[in-house]
Chains A and B, each alone.
Chain A
Amino acid sequence: MLTEKEFDFMGYRKIAGVVSIILIIVSIISLAVNSLEFGLDFTSGTSVRLSYSDSVVVEEVNQTLRDNGYEDAVVVTFGSDREIRVLLPVDESIEVGDQAAQAVIVGESIAELLQNSSGSQITLLGSDYVSAKVGGELVESGGIGMLVALAIIMVYIAMRFQFKFSVGAVVALAHDLIITLGIFSLFRIEFNLNTLAALLAIIGYSLNDTIVVSDRIRENFRRMRKGTPIEMVNTSLNQTLSRTLITSLTTLLVLFSILLIGGESTQGFAVALIIGVVIGTYSSIYIASNVILYMNVTREDLMLPVKEGSELDDIP
């Protein structure tokens, strides 16, 4: 069955498996050691956003703040070199009920302070305050959300396809999520609420890919009379390859436009999704199919529903 033009994807499945396992182990170690660079949404504190009329030197701002009693302030640029964000931990000496009001005052006084020490015109873009309690809950609800999403997907695929496929899809998804989180941890990219949404979007995207491949595998198992499972998976991957690449390409085009144009607020989202799309494309080719093969998928597994089979065969 294997013609010369077809690329022997499954010939590399052992190597791909080893590579993936290494990536996952590295990710887990990094997550355990480095943890994630949680943003304000997940921790707590105050964040003040300021815009300068000229480019700004972070070190100078840091110095000014430190000299004026804001020892714990962290200054980062965002978007361009004209906008900064000052992050401050929650002031424990202030009553929780008054912290929100305090955050506003701190924002205004920092803007004034920096304005006085800088030749550039400064605009206070806004400020955020997150209490210790809310931040902690987000991690929990985000985690639960991910588990619920995975469970629902597993059930759906088991119903529409077969149990082995749903294991394949969920393993592929877990693979994508762990490695994406690992990259965030390894490169210390900020993990905020947008990133969490992106992570859940990755589930959707990667799943899309996996389903398309699985669909083709199912179809080929039913239609092709000859060939080993490995050969049939290979044929399916080749048939879907151009679609997989084109869709990844269009999605990446879109994501890079968000990354470059969409402004700071959406950058974390774009970065997470770009990483996710690249890994998701790889995992839909190697991980899901690999798992299905390891679970010894057979033609009989997919021949069960007579109704569905006849439906497919009837299509001209």
Chain B
Amino acid sequence: MLNKYPAWKNILILLVVIWGFMYSLPNLYPDDPALQISHELTELSQGDLPTIMSALEAAEVQFFGEEVDSESILIRLNNLDDQLRAKTAIEEALGDSYIVALNLAPTTPGWLQAIGAGKMNLGLDLQGGVHFLMEVDMDAALTRRMEDNLSNVRTILREQRIRSRGLNLISNSHLEVRFADADDRSQARSELVDVFPELQFQNREAQGVFILDMRMTPATALQIQNDTLQANRTTLLNRVDTLGVSEPTVQQQGSDRIVVELPGMQDPAQAIRILQRIATLEFHLEAELGASSLTYETYEYEGIPVNVDNDVILQGDRVSNAVYSLDQNSQPQVLLSLDAQGGNQMNRATRDNVNRRMDVLLIETKSRTVTSVNEDGEEVEEIEFYEDKELITHATILQPLGRQFSITGLTPREASDLAPLIRSGSLAAPMTIVEQSVIGPSMGQENLDQGLLGVQVAAGLVVIFMFFYYRTFGMAANAALIMNILMIVAVMSSIIPATLTLPGIVGIVLTVGMAVDANVLIFTRIREELGNGAPPQQAIDAGYNRAFTTILDANLTTFLVAAVLYTIGTGPVRGFAITLMIGIITSMFTAIVGTRAIVNLIYGGKSVKTLSIGNFRKKAKAA
């Protein structure tokens, strides 16, 4: 029958409506500001909660809803100001070994949590916090790997007693070894080719010298960049953990950047101090007496000049851990653990050098802006990285070293400073903050309030307009419109864990404006059919059918644009694109299927003389 949906279709629509309602519901329950307290290393003890409670009472902060388990304690507070005051009070009462994290505790009723309904994540712009974009210096990472290779090549040639006439680093992906004759070269090549599967070998002759070129393949370079980025991400995650932020984000962006978002963080200066400790380590041997001055550099160690050999025996990224402890004689030491390859390298380098000194260089990468002139004669600003090296250990090798060894002869203070320095020095490549945004909590709340008010007013105006212009049909469209907003919220709260940002709210608002477009298309078409003299039931059917291809084309192209936006964009652009895409899909459902169901329920299957769809002009029948 015309304009009647089969029962299953109505039920299906009803189910979708119920789903949309249920899963958007949790967003109506505002979170409580809360603090989550845990111990850095061990489980919490019985006495912790009373200590916390008396500290809060002393600070005159009201709290409620304590939740305690062996791992952590959660305490709810009335407002964000109390949250910060309480944090300080608890930190003072408990001391340094506890982590007090700012948190938001959900107030969603249990039955909603039970069906897995949760809230949308709010972006930093809506809840306050700190955002950093950090850039990893990939050039340094590659150069370091090649330097590492170079010193391995040197060792192997020495062990195999192959005479070379020099090794040079040509670029960050290319090194050359020079030989006096072709025999040496081919012998070296056959020795090296198995050790360095990731390098490409090529022979070359220049001015009577036989050169072996070793180049990093682009695939290897890419792999190294990837590993470097992951290593840096992990290091950042560890550092962020010490900041006491409940839900930090540390995410890769593009090929050489990492986004760090710290919701609720109110002390950006502290965050920067911790995140930006850019340092790497290099292990060298002390230069032998009488060595050519070209093979070493001189550093100062406790006021004495020390000549450090240029060959790197080990890079800091091979260090898997460094801890401060006391040895058998209760003397302070730093215990170092290396990974497998690091252990081999260290062993090879130290077994012939017992009683020689080993030097550890801490390399801090700093950067400055330089202005240069490009090909077009324009002045361009570039970030230039440079290295600041410091000799931090100058210790005697007492025995051949392996994967685990210790640095002794330090004062307790030196040892406790050195351990974290080496740990952070194992960071694979230096990073700089290239973008930063600090959003205060009041700003976040203001953005959220204004954004939501904007949605409400916009939806209200559209609803009023649609009712006056399209009457009963307008109300069907309005029902669909509200349904659409609920569904966007429900999808963002459950299916796609998208983060709601201010541009995202704008995306929703814009969808509100554009979603009624589908209905406007359909209703004008129905009016037109009526104007042409079609009977009401047929007018409805023709209106929906004829408008469908138009709506599909229009929405599909807009969706494509949103998808492009999402792919190329970052941050705010993405937040906008994702809500726009979700909105287009849900609005197709609500505006076409949803309104049709309502219209069918009202008009379908009866004989209807007139439709309540506003005024239309009656035309002479078209030819």
Binding site for B on A (CB under 8 A): 1, 3, 5, 49, 51, 90, 92, 95-101, 103-105, 107-108, 123-134, 141-142, 144-145, 148-149, 152-153, 156-157, 160, 193-194, 196-197, 200-201, 203-205, 207-208, 211-212, 215-216, 219, 226, 239-240, 242-243, 246-247, 249-255, 257-258, 261-263, 265-266, 269-270, 273, 312, 315-316
Contact = CB atoms under 8 A, between A and B. Distances in A.
Interface string B538-555: 100110011001100111
A129 B432 CA distance: 13
Secondary structure at the B interface, as helix, strand, loop or mixed, is: helix
A212 B550 contact: yes
B442 A104 contact: no
Given A149-B560, A200-B573, A265 B502 contact: yes
A97 B560 contact: no
A156 B506 contact: no
Interface of B: 125, 128, 132-133, 135, 268-269, 272-273, 276, 278, 365-369, 381-383, 432-440, 442-443, 446-447, 450-451, 453-454, 457-458, 461-462, 465-466, 469, 502-503, 505-506, 509-510, 512-514, 516-517, 520-521, 524, 528, 538, 541-542, 545-546, 549-550, 553-558, 560-562, 564-565, 568-569, 571-573, 576-577, 580, 617, 619-620, 623
B554 A266 contact: no
B556 A247 contact: no
Contacts of A273: 510
A269 B562 CA distance: 16
A117 B623 CA distance: 79
26 contacts: A1-B623, A5-B619, A96-B369, A97-B432, A104-B272, A126-B438, A126-B440, A126-B443, A131-B383, A133-B381, A133-B434, A153-B561, A200-B561, A208-B517, A215-B554, A246-B469, A247-B516, A247-B520, A249-B465, A250-B466, A251-B510, A257-B454, A263-B454, A266-B451, A266-B503, A316-B538
Given A246-B520, A253-B513, A211 B272 contact: no
Residue among A123, A269, A312 with most chain B CB within 10 A = A269
Contacts, number: 256
A101 B132 CA distance: 11
A255 to B, nearest CB: 7
A239 B9 CA distance: 32
A208 B454 contact: no
Residue among B133, B462, B513, B516 with most chain A CB within 10 A = B513
A265 B520 CA distance: 31
Given A133-B383, A149-B561, A250-B520, A316 B542 contact: yes
Nearest to A99: B433
B502 A254 contact: no
B437 A261 contact: no
A141 B573 CA distance: 12
Contacts of B276: 97, 100-101
Given A156-B560, A194-B503, A315-B542, 18 more contacts: A51-B442, A96-B368, A100-B433, A101-B433, A129-B433, A129-B435, A134-B435, A149-B565, A197-B569, A215-B553, A226-B623, A243-B520, A253-B462, A254-B510, A257-B458, A263-B451, A265-B502, A316-B545
Given A103-B436, A269-B506, A251 B513 contact: yes
A254 B462 contact: yes
A250 B435 contact: no
